Structures are given as C-alpha cells and as structure tokens.
C-alpha cells in the first residue's frame, strides 16, 4: 500500500485526450492533467491556439479537428494512438451552444448541437474504449452541465439541454456496459463558470449575473480552479470504485 495519500491522484505517464481545449475550461482541464503528470493530447478546431497551449505545456501534442465532421472523432483517437501508442483518459469537453427559443429553433440547429455535444462524445468514447479495453482499462470523463440535470427555461436552449441530458444517461449506460472490462465512465456537470460560451451571456452582463447569483445557493458563479479537484478525482485512481456517476460542481444550483 502506497504511504502517500495523494499518490492516487497522480497521472504519471498516462495519455489523456482533452477536446475543446483551445480555450476556457478545456484549456484549464489540459493544464490540470498535465500538472498531474499526464501526456495530454489537446484538440479543438483552432490550431493556432492549440499550438500555443501545447508549447506552454511543453510535452503536449496538438491535434486540430472539427468534431462535427464525419470521421473526425475516430481520426483524433487514431492520431493519439499513432503518436503515443495508447490512450488512458478521455475528457469529452467540446460543446456547442446556440441559445434560441424552441419555437424558433430549427431542426438543423438542433441536429448540429446534438452532433457535437452527444454524437461525437459517443464516437470518441467508443473508439477510446476499444483501445482501453485492449490495454487493460481506462477512464472517460464526459463534461455535461446543469442543463443536463434540470431545465433552465429562461435561457432557451432545447438542443443544448437535450444533448447534455443525453450525455448524462450515456455516461450511465457506457459505465454499466464497460464496468467489467476495465473502463470507467463518469460525468462532470459544471454550473455557471466563466468561459467563451458564457461570456457576455451570463458573465459581463449585470442583469444576467444578478439572476445567476439570486438562484445559486452559494450566491455566485464558479471560479475556474473550482473544477480542478473534481476532474482530477474522476480522471485518476482516486475514483477506482466509481462508474456511471455524475458529479455536480454548481454552487448548489441542482440541489434546490
């Protein structure tokens, strides 16, 4: 038994894919995994930002891709295997948001949101699971949202809510299917955090921020670092007896 109580949180020599890593929470997730010892494959559409992040981290590998394109998820996993020979951790973080009242939301909009937020994470999870099972195991962390747990209504995003709710139950199903094959699948559900997606909508708009503060039991949005512990817990051996679960980091939003 290791005498170091923090050893289970280390990711030394593990290979991790982080999607949506060009900015915001995805870039933070990549930094957290890198700091824990992982070799990180950062992926998003914006190649220039990925390259800057990879240089900052020092030994990360950047793979630019658009997950909405057919075959892109499989190509990302193939590129990871070609570069590192394995994949131990997948963080399904990339997401699309397009606030539109449901009465005006086109089927194309709805489909496009589900393609990026639900279909691509499934394809990535499936492709990674093949490699993980062959290697003896692995970890998948899906990044959902409070929209996957409850309705919000006042911010109209039917496609986003459906995709994030679907991602949560996909987590449960894949966790159950792959539990005896060494692949754990869990879900991180953040509340209100500042990001490119929320900037100008929830943050930087006094009316929106006041609404958020009034409805969040802790009375504020989350700080970027407040997801670090939950991510590292789910991605590491600290959570080896946990699969198919959702961890909400939301200031109490879904508790009331």
pLDDT in tens, 186-200: 999 999 998 777 766
* Whole-number Cα distances in Å, 156 to 62, 201, 229: 34, 12, 30
Give the residue carrying structure tokens 């559409």.
Answer: 45
Distance from C-alpha of 104 to C-alpha of 34, rounded to nearest angstrom: 42
Per-residue model confidence as pLDDT tens digits over 199-234: 667 787 889 899 999 999 999 999 989 999 999 999
Predicted local confidence at residue 59, as pLDDT: 82
Predicted local confidence at residue 153, as pLDDT: 82
- CB-based contact 226:233 (threshold 8 Å): no
Pure H helices in 1-91: 24-35, 47-57, 72-84
Query: What are the residue ranges in the chain where pLDDT is below 70?
Result: 1-3, 199-200
Q: What is the pTM of this model?
A: 0.95
Active site amino acids? 160
Predicted local confidence at residue 55, as pLDDT: 95
Predicted local confidence at residue 203, as pLDDT: 83
Q: Give just the sign of the alpha carbon dihedral 29, 35, 36, 39.
A: positive
Predicted local confidence at residue 103, as pLDDT: 97
| Residues whose CB is less than 8 angstroms from the CB of residue 172 and which lie 6 or more positions away in sequence, other chains included | 244
Q: For 33-42, b where at least 16 C-beta lie within 10 A, e where not — what string?
A: bbebebbbbb
Task: Tell me the domains of the chain and their CATH numbers.
Answer: 10-249 (3.40.50.720)
Nearest to 17 by CA among 97, 113, 82, 114: 82
Predicted local confidence at residue 4, as pLDDT: 83
Predicted local confidence at residue 204, as pLDDT: 79
């Amino acid at each position: 038994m290791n005498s170091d109580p923090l050893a289970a949180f280390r990711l030394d020599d593990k290979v991790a894919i982080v999607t949506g890593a060009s900015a915001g929470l995805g870039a933070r997730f990549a930094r957290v995994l890198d700091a824990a010892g992982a070799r990180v494959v950062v992926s998003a559409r914006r190649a220039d930002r990925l390259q800057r992040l990879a240089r900052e981290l020092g030994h990360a590998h950047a793979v630019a891709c658009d997950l909405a394109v057919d075959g892109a998820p499989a190509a990302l996993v193939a590129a990871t295997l070609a570069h590192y020979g394995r994949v131990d951790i997948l963080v399904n973080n990339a997401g699309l948001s397009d606030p539109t009242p449901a009465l005006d939301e086109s089927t194309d909009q709805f489909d496009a949101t589900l393609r990026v937020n639900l279909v691509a994470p499934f394809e990535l999870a499936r492709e990674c699971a093949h490699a993980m099972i062959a290697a003896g195991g692995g970890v998948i962390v899906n990044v959902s949202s409070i929209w996957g747990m409850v309705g919000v209504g006042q911010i109209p995003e039917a496609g986003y809510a459906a995709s994030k709710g679907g991602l949560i139950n996909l987590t449960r199903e894949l966790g159950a299917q792959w539990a005896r094959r060494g692949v754990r699948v869990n879900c991180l559900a953040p509340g209100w955090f500042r990001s490119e997606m929320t900037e100008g909508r929830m943050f930087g708009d006094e009316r929106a921020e006041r609404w958020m503060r009034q409805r969040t039991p802790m009375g504020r949005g989350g700080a970027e670092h407040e997801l670090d512990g939950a991510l590292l817990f789910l991605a590491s051996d600290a959570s080896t007896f946990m699969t198919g679960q959702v961890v909400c980091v939301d200031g109490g939003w879904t508790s009331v």
